[in-house]
Structure 1
Amino acid sequence: MIIIAIHVAAGCIIHPDDAVLAVKANVAGIIVSNHGGRQLDTCMSTIEALADIMQAVRPLNTNMEIYMDGGIRRGTDILKAISLGAKAVCIGRPVLRGLSADGEKGVKHVLDILKKEFKLAMMLCGCQTVNELDKSLLHTTTLTSKL
């Protein structure tokens, strides 16, 4: 008998209750994403959802990998997501814009810009490694005060 382990990440999670269900289902990870859900004026952004999801998931599973997809436009967006607890971010629109403007060279240019912005943001926060990033670097009061 051959046993194959498959690691599954639950995607398009935007509500903490869904994240808790994913933890209880023993998924390997969660992808916080609203897949264009910001097309409505008052929908929650993925960075806002990430903060709530981290708060709901961490007491249940401190090792679950949580990724964020959507809304990444600058290196500071990456810094915010990782500081809130994301393992990594998924980047779509900026990469596609680079691709449409200049093919592979355009994608490389976009990723180079994001990398430089991220490194600068880390430096300005006094952090030398990604492991030093945490939510104490962010002012998060406004995340919960939008009504």
Structure 2
Amino acid sequence: RLNRFSMPPRCQENSPAPWTSCKFSFHMIPYLREYVKRDLKIVIRGITSVDDALTAAEKGANAVWISEKAHLRSAASPISTVHNIAQTLASLHPSCEVILQGGARRGIDVLKAVALGAKAVCVDTDLLMWGLCRDGNSKGLQDLLSMLNEELKLAMVLTHSRCIAEVKANRVVEWIQPKSHQ
């Protein structure tokens, strides 16, 4: 052996690049937990359903990462998926966090995701590339991020939230849900 680590289940040790021939399964999370320091978090990316999020949390993941790209095959928007997953995890595994990547193109989208349970909202790479290409330099990207920040601040003012920690579903959900016709 070249090192003290053994390959996780389902990986071929004699492969030239064992991690590329490896198919991830949730059963690998406890294996990773053995080798990861306790202060480092295990984040599982590409979660698309409540069942996957629950399985990841039960196996020891600290966070689940919901990506917009994973939703191309489903009808649900990433923000509505955040709501479903965060609600379920909050009741069954409150220490497991939810992270959203993509689906947030305006400050109000960031506010909605946080209000519905996301711990973090990541700007999608397509949007970042648009910002870079707009002016051909980093100024476009700086403008884009400033615009997102200003829109988020405005949305927080409209919901009477002084800081991001005050953004809660009870201040936002009624505002973003469509009104039913009487």
Secondary structure of residue in 1 paired with 2:92: coil
> Paired residue for 2:127?
94
* Alignment check: 8 A CA contact 1:76 1:121 kept: yes
Q: Are 2:15 and 1:12 equivalent residues in the alignment?
A: no
> Which digits, 9 at most, give the CA deviation of each residue in 1:1-29, with x for residues without a partner?
9x751422011112100000010111121
Give the TM-score of the pair, scaled to structure 2: 0.70
| Runs of 4 or more consecutive aligned structure 1 residues displaced over 3 Å after TM superposition | none
> Which digits, 9 at most, give the CA deviation of each residue in 1:59-78, with x for residues without a partner?
22212221111211100000
> Paired residue for 2:113?
81
> Paired residue for 2:166?
132
Which structure is higher in RCO with an 8 Å CA cutoff and minimum separation 6? 1
- Structure 2 spans left out of the alignment, 5+ residues: 5-34
Q: 1:21 to 1:50 in 2, by over 3 A?
A: same
Between the aligned partners of 2:36 and 2:71, the Cα distance in structure 1 is: 35
RMSD: 2.0
Secondary structure of residue in 2 paired with 1:58: helix
Q: Are 2:141 and 1:107 equivalent residues in the alignment?
A: yes
- Structure 1 spans left out of the alignment, 5+ residues: 143-147
Q: 1:36 to 1:28 in 2, by over 3 A?
A: closer
Q: Are 2:92 and 1:60 equivalent residues in the alignment?
A: yes
* Alignment check: 8 A CA contact 1:8 1:28 kept: yes
* Alignment check: 8 A CA contact 2:49 2:85 kept: yes
- Deviation, 1:141, is 5.3
Q: Are 2:78 and 1:33 equivalent residues in the alignment?
A: no
Q: 1:109 to 1:65 in 2, by over 3 A?
A: same
Letter in 1 for 2:127: P
* Alignment check: 8 A CA contact 2:87 2:117 kept: no
* Alignment check: 8 A CA contact 1:98 1:109 kept: yes
* Alignment check: 8 A CA contact 2:54 2:89 kept: yes
- Deviation, 1:131, is 1.1
Secondary structure of residue in 2 paired with 1:23: helix
Secondary structure of residue in 2 paired with 1:13: coil
> Paired residue for 1:145?
none
* Corresponding pairs, count: 139
Identity over aligned pairs, percent: 30
Between the aligned partners of 2:117 and 2:106, the Cα distance in structure 1 is: 18
Between the aligned partners of 2:138 and 2:104, the Cα distance in structure 1 is: 19
* Alignment check: 8 A CA contact 2:46 2:70 kept: no
